[in-house]
């Protein structure tokens, strides 16, 4: 259940009825650059990771927000990511914050380029 008290099952079962009103809210938010106050509220709760349960360092904070707000966040993220990739805002050689790329893929790419240069000499 989200911070707004609406259970996810209710949102799923009413998806068709909620699609139009939520799309209007999302579009208005996108055009004005403002997010509903209720969607900005969060309840931060500790989630146990591993180790000794009495050690506060063995917990990570998780921010519980409203589900419609999370959905809007995902839409916005996907649109911005697609825009940046399509317009070459992030070059293919960059690996940070890119899906399917990591420090490991960056190292492999670098190692591949270095060995290619060594082989050419």
- Of 14-28, 60-74, 92-106, the one with minimum mean pLDDT is 92-106
Q: Please name which of 1, 3, 69 lies closest in space to residue 42, comparing C-alpha atoms.
A: 3
Mean pLDDT confidence for 105-119: 92
Beta strands in 37-113 (DSSP E): 43-48, 59-64
Contact 107, 91 (CB under 8 A): no
pLDDT at 112 over 90: yes
Mean pLDDT confidence for 45-71: 89
- Whether the model clears a pTM of 0.85, i.e. scores above it, the answer is no
CA angle (73 as vertex; 47, 66 as ends), nearest 5: 55
């Amino acid at each position: 259940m989200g911070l707004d008290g609406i259970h996810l099952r209710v949102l799923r079962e009413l998806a068709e009825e909620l699609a139009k009103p939520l799309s209007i809210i999302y579009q208005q938010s996108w055009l004005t650059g403002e997010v509903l106050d209720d969607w900005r509220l969060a309840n931060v709760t500790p989630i146990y990771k591993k180790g000794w349960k009495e050690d506060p360092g063995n917990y990570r904070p998780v921010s519980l927000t409203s589900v419609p707000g999370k959905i809007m966040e995902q839409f916005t993220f996907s649109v911005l990511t697609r825009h940046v990739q399509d317009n070459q805002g992030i070059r293919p050689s960059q690996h940070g914050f890119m899906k399917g790329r990591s420090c490991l893929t960056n190292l492999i790419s670098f190692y591949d380029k270095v060995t290619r240069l060594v082989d050419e000499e």
